[in-house]
Amino acid sequence: MPKVNEKVSDRINGLKGRLGGVDLRQNAIFIALLALVGFFALTSPNGCSITPDNWSNLVVQNGYILVLAIGMVMVIIAGHIDLSVGSVACFIGAASGILAVRPLEQTGWDWVPKFSWWAAIIGAVVIGAIVGMWQGFWVAYVGIPAFIVTLAGMLLFRGLALITLQNTNIGPYPDSFRLIGNGFVDKENSLGHALGMKDYNATALVITAVGVLALLLQSFATRRGRIKYNQVVEPRVWFLVKNILLAAMIAYVGVQLSQANGIPWTLVLLVALVIIYTTVMKRTTFGRHIYAIGGNLHAAVLSGINVRRVNFWLFVNMGALSALSGILIVARMNSAVPKAGDGFELEAISSVFIGGASVQGGVGTVTGSMVGGMIQGILGNGMNLNSIGIDFQMTTKGLVLLLAVAFDVWSKKRTK
Amino acid sequence: MTEHILEMKNITMTFPGVKALSDVSLEVSRGEIHAICGENGAGKSTLMKVLSGVYPHGTYEGEILFENRTVGFQNIRESERLGIVIIHQELALSPHLSIAENIFLNNEITKNGFVNWNKTNQEAQKLMAKVGLSEDPNTLVKNIGVGKQQLVEIAKALSKKVKLLILDEPTAALNDADSEHLLELLRQFKHQGMTSIIISHKLNEIAAIADKTTIIRDGLVIETLDMHNDSVNQERIIKGMVGREMNNRYPSRESQIGEELFRVEEWTVHHPDDSTRVVVDSVSFNVKAGEIVGLAGIMGAGRTELARSIFGHSWGIGISGRTFIKGKEFQLKTIRQAIDAGIAYSTEDRKRYGLNLIDDIKRNISMASLKNFVKLGLVNANEEYRIANEYRTSMNIKAPSPNSIVGKLSGGNQQKVVLSQWINVNPDLLILDEPTRGIDVGAKYEIYTIIQELASQGKAILMISSELSELIGICDRIYAISEGRLTGEVEKSDFSPELLMKYMTMTRDEMTKEDTNA
């Protein structure tokens, strides 16, 4: 090929690469999320969907689904599914009650010593990991499809939850235990009082500021690193607009929360999990192996990846996160009940798919799933505020899931 | 007198960033066999997809005239209605349905809304007779060989009243007898007045059957050759395809062979589905540093099975035998152990077993060597990018960046990604299973150069191939395998296709006879 042509095609490719740096799909769900917030801000009575208290509610109400969605997206990227997470959350919630609360005599658990709140939480997560080992064993080492193993697990662990609860509810939970699902960082605003700020929770503002700063620094560092290695990066304008928008949104939510009770501990936990798991998925061999297995199992095997081990630990991880979710539920409800977590597996799975994961595996992100989960959460919350019944809520959520995936399929076809 | 059944005028097809076809014109006369040749990625399949409506009218520029009428198909159904039928390389048959059901799939013979099975089978039988397929029409397609499946596809095309039959690599998966039958069939159809377009890499077949050959390179029509002209031969076609004389299809090289690097003794492997079936039977061989050793055998001789069982027992059960690396015995029971011991295996089927097609070049290249990129528990993605970019340049992988998705590359470029992946684990022994399968002549030459370069770095290469000429072209030594046993070892000075073919086709009885003679 003559040189001139090469130059032209290089430039075309360069341009394509630059546009390729903008991930349309991820941005689309983000815009959908913003549109939804805007829509409910306009339609809810007195704009109550964007009051500080409602922002606070949104986080706390959806925390347990989002925690499940983190584990679920990993399972789905690897090409599996987990239908048991709702039941496991219920079971572990009950088990944490037995550890943290003195159970009634008629449950037969009164021989278990009462643990301090933190030991109960750790204990519950360990039990969750053991549940995960059980499922991981059948999936990874016996080779039964995860759909079957976790369908069985859905019944099995709901059953174990009922056995554990013995027709009673366990509760109330110790106050320290409840903080994780229901508490706020520096709720009394002691920092604010010291500084003379009464209307705003000062601690929340400080945390928000630090968070925004850290996010911006991280984005710039990543961009600089890529440029140093002569990689194609997003156009500068787009990069700046995106990051400023994102920072403004976080700042907005932070300020809103500071006008309510401050930052919920659930949010702290969630942000920590999102950072940890995004790193795991993007930057550790474990995460990269998950993508490889989901993308092409045979190629992963022949590359020397220990697929069984990865699958096993995936389910252990899912079990531990289900346990965390269960803890959040009981901490918020202040009691472990037999119906807890019912249907949560489906909400977690929807979050993951709305968030851009592929049914075939190999594709998906933690942050995408969080946005997917928030879209569902805001839909439910907004419709509640507009006094729309559960009937129409379910109908709408079903359509949203379908349309989100349809959009995905359609946009993929377009790029082909 | 020549009436054109098909004229494609100035077809231009642009994908984002790539011009797949630019200003392509093609004229096909009624009743001829028209071959289309070109390297992989040259635009042959794209052109046929434009013709058959896979890419609907409006996505391309230019005009298509079929039987002197301008046509613009929105989908395949519309082109089939006019009698243009395309048979793809990957057969589109439903394995659990019968031959008759497949022939009339989506074209069922019905009466009052119900399928008329008697008529269906009767008509199927007629069509099967036309293509020389003598089977019960009720036989399930999965129970007949791939050669017969190809005939079912053609019968299916006939059932659609085909006027222009397009075959994409029809003989790629067929053995010689089946290929010959297929070509004969095409000749018959020609005499009955049917027009065919055939896309093929097998130049000898094209030379034998085609009336005209159109050569496409880089999305452009280079020339249309009249095959009845005496001066047109295979070399002439190759010249058009690659744009240079390929007198030397294999790069030359001075071998520098060192010490023995890898040795297998008494290697025996059983079939995973049937533990009594011996697939590899006490095979012993060795490969020296800097040496390219060929493993020749027909399909099913146990070549891939031998390679994969050595590569961390990744195929087979009941594996026995010993493996030595640089004279020291090694246990290679898992793939990880094999890789860590310095062995790499690149698969014969890169799409199924070699690549994560939905991921990008850099992550495919690092797939088997990811731990080398880890610092403090985290993968350094920038370093990954840098290394991948080095391979992109040195291996001449045609892609805009290391972030390009592998599934969108052509076969030759995908193969280079697979090779990069394995070179990056820095192995001592590379087992290359059909490294040039399904890739075009130019890319093959590049792959040979890479292989020789690796050997000159002192790596040992074991190369499995179905193409004898290729093994003879680049190997230092060739082992022949037949029915799971090594039947011969040939030094470079004794290379000849005849001798190798004799060893490759040796039956078990002949082997025992030779053993007793010796």
Three-state secondary structure of A11-31: HHHHHHHHHHCCCHHHHHHHH
R_g of chain A computed on alpha carbons: 23
Alpha carbons B407 and A363: distance in angstroms, whole number:
14
Gap from A13 CA to chain B (nearest CA, Å): 6
Question: B369 to chain A: nearest residue by CA?
Answer: A303
Which of A343, A358, A374, A341 minimizes the C-alpha distance to A296? A358
**Are residues A80 and A314 in contact, defined by beta-carbon separation less than 8 angstroms?**
yes
Quote the pTM value: 0.80
Test mutation, A15, A293, A303, chain B, max B CBs within 10 A = A303
| Positive or negative: CA dihedral A225, A230, A235, A237 | positive
In the prediction, which pLDDT does A6 show? Answer: 47
Determine whether the interchain pair A285/B355 forms a contact, defined as Cβ–Cβ distance below 8 Å: no
Q: Which structure tokens are listed for A33?
A: 């999320």
Gyration radius of chain B's alpha carbons: 25
Q: Of B336, B371, B379, which is closest to A283 when you measure between CB atoms?
A: B379
From the CB of residue B416, how many other CB atoms can be counted at a distance below 10 Å?
28
A304 and B312: CB-CB below 8 Å?
yes
Q: Which of B289, B291, B282, B288 is nearest to B322 (CA)?
A: B282
> Which pLDDT value is given to residue A24?
64
Considering only CB atoms, which chain B residues are within 8 Å of A306? 334, 336
Please, what is the Cα angle at B440 between B254 and B179, to 5 degrees? 110
Q: How many Cα atoms sit within 13 Å of B50 on the Cβ side?
A: 31
Question: How near does any CA of chain B get to the CA of A1, in Å?
Answer: 9
Give pLDDT, residue B1.
Answer: 44
Residue pair B311/B431 in contact by the 8 Å Cβ criterion: yes
A291 and B363 within 8 Å at the Cβ level: the answer is yes
For residues A49 and A387, give the distance between their C-alpha atoms in angstroms, rounded to a whole number: 12
SS3 A93: helix
ipTM exceeds 0.90, yes or no: no
Residue A114, CA distances (Å) to A162, A167, A264 in order: 21, 21, 26
Helix-strand-coil split of chain A, %, nearest 5: 75, 0, 20
Residue of chain A whose Cα is closest to the Cα of B59: A414
Residue A103 — φ and ψ, nearest 5°? -70, 160
- Rounded to a whole number of angstroms, the distance from the CA of B315 to the nearest CA of chain A is 10
Residues 272-301 of chain A with CB under 8 A from chain B are 279, 282-285, 288-289, 291-292, 295-296, 298-301
Question: Is B459:B289 a contact under the CB 8 Å cutoff?
Answer: yes
pLDDT surpassing 50 at residue A149: yes
pLDDT tens, residue by residue, A205-229: 999 999 999 999 999 999 999 999 8
pLDDT at A18 over 50: no
Looking at chain B, the number of H-run helices and the number of E-run strands are 17, 24
Q: Which residues contact B405 (CB under 8 A, 6 or more apart)?
A: B357, B358, B359, B360
- In 3D space, the residue among A65, A56, A367, A354 whose CA is nearest the CA of residue A215 turns out to be A367
What residues pair up with B479 in beta bridges, in sequence order?
B295, B489
For chain B, list residues whose CB is within 8 angstroms of any CB belonging to chain A: 16-18, 218, 311-312, 314, 334-336, 338-339, 345, 347, 352-359, 363, 367-368, 370-371, 374, 377-379, 381-383, 385-386, 389, 400-401, 403, 421
Residue at B168: amino acid letter: D
- Tokens at A267, concatenated: 């949010």
Q: Are B23 and B12 in contact (CB under 8 A)?
A: yes
**pLDDT on residue A148:** 97
What distance in Å separates the CA atoms of residue B13 and residue B259, rounded to the nearest whole number? 54
List residues bridging with B114 in a β-sheet.
Answer: B111
DSSP assignment letter at B82 = T
Of the segments A6-20, A68-82, B89-103, which one has the largest average pLDDT value? A68-82
Instruction: State which residues of chain B have pLDDT below 50.
Output: 1
Q: Print burial letters for A285-302: b (CB count within 10 Å at least 16), e (below 16).
A: bbbbbbbbbbbbbbbbbb
pLDDT of A302 reads 95
Interface test with A, best of B353, B366, B392, B423 (most A CBs within 10 A): B353
Instruction: Report d(CA A127, CA A75) in Å as an integer.
Output: 19
DSSP-based three-state secondary structure for B115: strand
Cis peptide before A172 (omega within 30 of 0): yes
- In percent, the amount of chain A with pLDDT more than 90 equals 72
Contact B338 A304 (CB under 8 A): yes
Partners of residue B287 on adjacent β-strands: B262
Taking an 8 Å cut-off on Cβ atoms, the answer to whether A302 and B354 are in contact is yes
The beta-carbon neighbor of B377 closest among A20, A229, A284 is: A284
Using CB atoms, which residue from B339, B359, B401 is nearest to A304?
B339
List the single residue in B17, B335, B370 with the smallest CB-CB distance to A301: B335
Determine the residue of chain A that is closest to B334 in CA distance: A304
Would you state the pLDDT for residue A207? Answer: 95
Which of B336, B401, B403 faces A306 most closely, judged by CB atoms?
B336
Determine, for residues A304 and B368 on separate chains, whether the beta-carbon distance falls below 8 Å. yes
Partner-chain residue, chosen from A285, A298, A302, that has the shortest CB–CB distance to B371: A285
Q: Kindly report the number of other CB atoms within 10 A of residue B502's CB atom.
A: 15
Residue A187: is it exposed, middle or buried by C-beta count within 10 angstroms (0-12/13-18/19+)? middle
DSSP letter for each residue of B129-153:
HHTT--S-TTSBGGGS-HHHHHHHH
Q: What is the pLDDT of residue A2?
A: 41
Chains A–B, number of C-beta pairs less than 8 Å apart: 105
Q: Which residues of A touch B314 (CB under 8 A)?
A: 301-302
Q: Do A292 and B367 touch (CB under 8 A)?
A: yes
What number of residues does chain A have? 416
Residues of B in contact with A13 (CB under 8 A): 17, 400-401
Question: Measured in whole angstroms, how far is the alpha carbon of residue A409 from the centre of its chain?
Answer: 23
Contacts of B14 in chain A (CB under 8 A): none
**So what's the pLDDT on residue B312?**
95
Which one-letter DSSP state was computed for residue A134? H
At A274, give phi and psi (nearest 5°).
-65, -45
CA dihedral (B397, B402, B408, B411) positive or negative: positive
B16–A282 CB contact, under 8 Å = no
* Pair A347, A65: CB distance under 8 Å: yes
In this prediction, residue A387 carries a pLDDT of: 94
Chain B contact for A226 (CB, 8 A cutoff):
yes
Greatest pairwise CA separation for chain A in angstroms: 87
Interface test mutation site (partner A, options B358, B363, B425, B430, max chain A beta carbons within 10 A): B358
Distance from the Cα of A227 to chain B's closest Cα (Å) equals 10
The DSSP code sequence of A118-151 is HHHHHHHHHHHHHHHHHHHIIIIII---HHHHHH
How far apart, in whole angstroms, are the C-alpha atoms of residue B187 and residue B197?
12
Q: A231 contacts in B (CB within 8 Å)? A: 382, 385, 401, 403
Q: Which of B148, B150, B35 lies closest to B88 in space, CA to CA?
A: B150
Please state, in angstroms and rounded to a whole number, the distance separating the CA atoms of residues B442 and B438: 12
* Contact (Cβ atoms closer than 8 angstroms) between residue B367 and residue B356: yes
User: Which residue type sits at B160?
Assistant: K
* A14/B400 touch (CB, cutoff 8 Å), yes or no: yes
Q: E strands of B341-399, at which residues?
A: 343-346, 374-375, 378-379
| 3-state SS, one letter per residue, for B21-63 | EEEEEEEEECCCEEEEECCCCCCHHHHHHHHHCCCCCCCCEEE
Q: Report the distance separating Cα B427 and Cα B405, nearest Å.
A: 26
